[in-house]
Amino acid sequence: MVDHAHGTPSGDRRWLLSAFTVVVAFMIGEVVAAVLAGSLALLADAGHMLTDAAALGLAVIAARIAQRPARGAYTYGFARADALSGQANGITLVLLAIWFVVEGIRRLINPSGVHGGVVAIVAVIGVLVNLVATALAGRADRASLNVRGVLAHLVTDIWAFGATLCAGLVVYASGWERADPVASLVVAALMAWTGTRLVRESGRVFLEAAPHGLDPLQLGAELADVPGVVQLHDLHVWVLGSQETALSAHVLVGPTFDCHEVAEQLRTGIAERHGIEHVTLQVDHADQQLHDADSCADAHGAVHISPP
């Protein structure tokens, strides 16, 4: 049965592929227009559109790979495939931004002939095309780093085309051809900002950082406050992928409490308050474990918390 539900993996791929088709079709036409008009700003926009197309294509592939179940050596599955895609797109944006900065400065020094009318017309079409592509891609699941990266590309492109439109109108009205490389520098700055943010976000995934807005120390104190918990240490919380978080900890409980009941209470609280389902807890009674736990926490430098 074909799945038409909004936010499902198959639905995400359908919306992303639709946006991909729109972006690629316009990008080809923009490259031709940039060559005919002699516009670096249009060429920079086309370069950004290329990264949009790559982002959309990789997002579709990564979304499919991320659905594969854990198997073989990949015991955590393929949830980080979208982070690989986001990092590749971010690095590409930064490299293109550097190239457009160099070329923009060169054209500021030695301006070349630019057809302002053509630039302005193509920029207007570019804004409309990006609005359509953004609307299509926005129908996919925005919790995915892939989808967020794609939307960041497309929204940045809208602003970039706005700068290009201004440059085209200035060149057409006044003949000041340096407006074109100035606009390309604006586009390059937007590309660098978007690319840096994507690299930083994917880096958090690869470095297994805690999710945004979740303080491991505060979480540890919350867990240590659960009745029966005598000590909690080796607490680790990290991002498996853009939509999944994992947590592990060693918990020591009082001798009069049932380990299984305390563990279940901790898992339930973690899931309800923080949405973390992938939880691994080693739960022991405290009477025989306290000394070893202190040594282990000191050696590993992990979060080590006792109830007040």
H-helix segments, 110-178? 116-137, 145-174
pLDDT of residue 142: 64
**pTM of the shown model:** 0.70
pLDDT in tens, 152-164: 778 877 887 888 8
pLDDT in tens, 8-61: 555 677 888 888 888 888 888 888 888 888 877 778 777 767 777 877 887 777
Cα 294 to Cα 301: distance, rounded to the nearest angstrom: 11
Cα 72 to Cα 240: distance, rounded to the nearest angstrom: 17
pLDDT of residue 243: 65
For residue 175, which amino acid is it? G
CATH superfamily ID and name for 9-206: Cation efflux protein transmembrane domain (1.20.1510.10)
E strand or H helix at 245: strand 244-253
CATH architecture of the domain 216-305 equals 2-Layer Sandwich (3.30)
What is the signed CA dihedral for 296, 301, 303, 308, rounded to 10 degrees?
A: 70
Which residues belong to CATH 1.20.1510.10 in the chain?
Answer: 9-206
Which residues belong to CATH 3.30.300.30 in the chain?
Answer: 216-305
